[in-house]
Amino acid sequence: MSQTDSLLNTLKRQLRMQGKTYADVAQWLGLSEASVKRLFAERNITLARLECICEQLNLEFAELVQTMQTEERRLQELTQAQEQSIADDPKLFLIAVCVINGYSFAEIHHQYQLSEAECTQQLLKLERLALIQLLPGNRIKRRVAPNFRWRPGGPIQQFFQQHIANDFFRSRFDSESEKLLVLNGLLSRAGNDEWQQIMQRLAKEFHELCERESSLPITQRFGTTSVLAVRQWQHGLFKGYARKLPQQ
C-alpha cells in the first residue's frame, strides 16, 4: 500500500471517528459529494484540501501523518509459527479472537467460563506475540492494524476449514440475521480477477463497519461471520459428463 493510500485511509478513519461524512467534506471544500467521493476513490486530493479537512477535524496535518505511521507499525499478519501457537491452544485461540474483535477483559470474563487468572495468563501470551499490550487495570490495547488478517492457508484458516465449516453451514439461513447467496455463472479469467477484487473491497468495507461500531456497548453487538469465496469449480456429480478441453 502506498503512503498516499495509507494517509487517506487514516483520514477516512478520523472522519468516521468524528461522525463526519463525504457530505460534510463536500461542504468544507465547496464541492459536490460525488466529486469528493471521486477524489478519495482516485487518491487525488491536493495538500491544500487535506489541510482544510484536517482543520475542520481540529487535527494538525502532522498529527494525521503521525497517526498513519503509528497504524502502519501495527500488526497486519502473524508469522506461521505465531499462528500455530494460537491454533494449538484452544483457550489462547478464544481469547485472541475476542481481543481482535474488541472485547474488554471484563466482557471476556463475563461471557466465558474462564477465571480472571486464566484470562490474564492468556492475555500475557498474546502480549508476547505482540498482538496486544496489557495495561494496568487489565485494560487491553490492541496492536493489530485495521486490515489485520489471518494468513491465507495458514494454521488459523486451516482450523476454521477443518473444524468450523461444517457447523457454519448447518443452518437454513432464513433468520433475520442470516443470508446465504450462492452465485453461479460463466466468467473469463479477467472477469474472475475483477470479481476477486470486488470481494476484497467488500472485506475492507466489513472491517470498516466493525471499526465504526466498535464504540457501541458489547451488549448491542453480536458475533458476525461472513464467508466470501470463489472457485473455478464444478460439483463432482457433473465431472463425469465433462469433456476434456485444451488447457488455456
Q: What are phi and psi of 221, to 5 degrees?
A: -125, 150
Residues 203-233: tens digit of each pLDDT: 888 888 887 887 788 888 888 888 877 777 6
Question: How many residues does this entry show for the chain?
Answer: 248
How many CB atoms neighbour CB 122 within 10 A? 22
Please, which residues have CB within 8 angstroms of residue 71's CB and are 6 or more apart in sequence?
A: 6, 10, 145, 146
Name the residue with higher pLDDT: 247 or 130: 130
Residue 223 near residue 101 (C-beta atoms within 8 A) = yes
d(CA 96, CA 131): 8
Q: For position 245, what pLDDT does the model report?
A: 55
Residues 33-57: tens digit of each pLDDT: 999 999 888 888 899 999 999 999 9
Q: For position 73, what pLDDT does the model report?
A: 63
pTM for the full model? 0.58
State what percent of residues in the chain have pLDDT above 70.
90
